[in-house]
Amino acid sequence: MEITVTGRHMEVSDALREHATKRIQDIIEDVHKITSAKVVLELQKGRSKAEIIIHGKHLDVEADFESYDMYQSIDSAVDKAGRQIAKFIDKVQDHHKFSKLKEAGENEVELEDKEEI
């Protein structure tokens, strides 16, 4: 998986690049469908903006946050993207799988009891 950190109107320091990469890896390490992540850091009139774009199989997530501190902007944008990914996974997940298995198990128990009689 590819994580790209770029800057608009600024040079991205190694510390910012490592912080953004580490935070992105923390939220997407369990999701196997993600193919690439892009972090765009922008500095404009003292305001710091972080924009995160994550692409994957049937998944496109965009999140951004603006504040006076670049690290806070990165953390908040990553949190937003993490919530969107969690919502996507929850939406795709089959919640009735356990109940189907439970019903099948109960039917097998009833058949075994009838065979003993």
**pTM for the full predicted model:** 0.76
Report the candidate in 45, 41, 31 with the shortest Cα–Cα distance to residue 1. 31
Q: How many CB atoms lie within 10 A of CB 102?
A: 10
Which residues span the domain enclosing 8? 2-116
pLDDT in tens, 43-101: 999 899 999 999 988 889 999 999 999 999 999 999 999 999 999 888 887 666 666 56
Distance CA(28)–CA(112), nearest Å, equals 45
Q: What is the CATH number of the domain that holds 110?
A: 3.30.160.100
CB atoms within 10 A of CB 44: 11
Residue 23: its H or E element: helix 14-28
Tens of pLDDT, residue by residue over 12-34, are 999 999 999 999 999 888 888 88
The structural domain count of the chain equals 1
Identify which of 40, 74, 33 has the alpha carbon closest to the alpha carbon of residue 55.
33
